[in-house]
Amino acid sequence: MNEPFLPFTRPSFDEETLAGVLDVFRSGWITSGPRVAELEAALVSRLGHDRRVLCFAHATGALEESLRTIGVGPGDEVIVPAMTFAASANVVLRVGATPVFVDVDLASRNLTPAAVAAAVTPRTRAVMPVHFAGLPVALEALQAVARRHHLVVVEDAAHAIGARYRGREIGSFGDLVCFSFHANKNMTTIEGAAISLPAGRVDWADRLERLRFHGLRKADDGSYDVELAAGKHNLSDVAARVGLGQLKRLDAFNRRRRELAGYYFARLESNPWGLVLPEWGDEGHAWHMLTVLVPFETLGFGRRELQERMRSHGIGTGMHYPALPPLTLYRALCDWHPGRFPNAERIGRETVTLPLFPAMTEGDVDRVCRALGQILGGGGA
């Protein structure tokens, strides 16, 4: 095999960003400081000056502290999709509340407002939708459900930086919107996150400030008081400098992701192997990932074998995500039995994530599709 290994994702860094990181090291100030403030300001400039943005060390912490900020705790319920990363349910458990799972749509992979409305009980305090793979959920209808039941919408926008819903950028509106800047996201700070919230919610912002750094409130003379038994979620200036370089290129990154997704659709949409592609969406889709459903039961082999055979072709793949309710920690929470969340369970059984990142070429997409065709029995794709 002469071609280099093609991972399912890879971050891209330019020389200006690398030089900027070196400048941060030379400055002697590498933890939270002026670069974090600069990144927060840049995100406010992008999302709108009626927003407040706070950077966090990771999106899991951002989601967890968002729930604490709105008062979610023991005895409360939070509605989450049944197919998502484990953090969605874990943060609910960590604040002492109960995650209530709802099934997702098979095409969009997102929860639906109708499913949320059916799951609301007197104990429900919040709903936490995931904009899966960068495709925004039906926010207008979801927010209507939330208003009707006096719920807060905590958006898990880990996949959705730069995504748009009906022309409005995700994070430019809404209650609490949590972005991830993990290494595999559309823009990265290596590890990191940000919360966007209305600038008028000074109470939320103040509490989030305390929750992200030991519960401290500092005075001008350097002294401080401790108001909460909080953890530590602050972003470093080194990470923020990476994020500033990435943010400048985010729109170009997302345009390229959409182009690459289009190449995949052109080659796979009418495939003969029974692959089910995700919903295409409109121009607001951020295309964080491209996942396909593979009918393993009819093919006679499983996902692990497919991934191993793709790797033998020099191609990496991922798996995003298993259904959560069948997993050990969550089974008893929802009295799970096979078929209770049919779409989420099918996605969990069949999903495979194909390579998609801005540095890829159309030739790389051809290579992935050819390998799939050979493995699935139809020759070239």
| pLDDT at site 378 | 56
What's the structural domain count of the chain? Answer: 2
The Cα-based distances of 73 to 78, 123, 195, 300, 320 in angstroms read 10, 11, 20, 46, 28
238: phi then psi, degrees, rounded to nearest 5: -60, -50
Helix (H) or strand (E) holding 81: strand 77-81
129/259 same-domain check: no
Among the three residues 243, 278, 313, which one is the final residue of a domain in this structure? 243
306, 293 in Cβ contact below 8 A?
Answer: no
142/173 same-domain check: yes
1: amino acid identity, one letter: M
pTM beyond 0.85: the answer is yes
Alpha helices in the chain (DSSP H): 15-27, 34-47, 59-69, 87-94, 113-119, 139-149, 202-211, 237-268, 296-299, 303-312, 328-334, 342-350, 362-376
58/205 same-domain check: yes
252: phi then psi, degrees, rounded to nearest 5: -65, -40
174/100 same-domain check: yes
* Residue of 185, 218, 232, 248 marked active site: 185
Rg of the chain, C-alpha, whole Å? 21
Nearest to 92 by CA among 297, 259, 333: 333
- Domain-embedded: residue 7: no
How far is residue 275 CA from its own chain's centroid?
24
- Domain-embedded: residue 5: no
**What's the 3-state SS for 63-74?**
HHHHHHHCCCCC
Nearest to 369 by CA among 277, 303, 301: 277
248 in active site? no
Residues spanned by the domain of 302: 250-376
167/262 same-domain check: no
Per-residue pLDDT tens digits of the chain, which is 381 residues long: 579 999 999 999 999 999 999 999 999 999 999 999 999 999 999 999 999 999 999 999 999 999 999 999 999 999 999 999 999 999 999 999 999 999 999 999 999 999 999 999 999 999 999 999 999 999 999 999 999 999 999 999 999 999 999 999 999 999 999 999 999 999 999 999 999 999 999 999 999 999 999 999 999 999 999 999 999 999 999 999 999 999 999 999 999 999 999 999 999 999 999 999 999 999 999 999 999 999 999 999 999 999 999 999 999 999 999 999 999 999 999 999 999 999 999 999 999 999 999 999 999 999 999 999 999 985 444
95/239 same-domain check: yes
- Domain-embedded: residue 63: yes
Among the three residues 226, 243, 260, which one is the final residue of a domain in this structure? 243
Helix (H) or strand (E) holding 153: strand 152-157
Among the three residues 243, 269, 294, which one is the final residue of a domain in this structure? 243
Tell me, what CATH number does 278's domain have? 3.90.1150.10
Contacts of 119 (CB under 8 A, 6+ apart): 79, 100, 102
Block residue for tokens 């999302």: 47
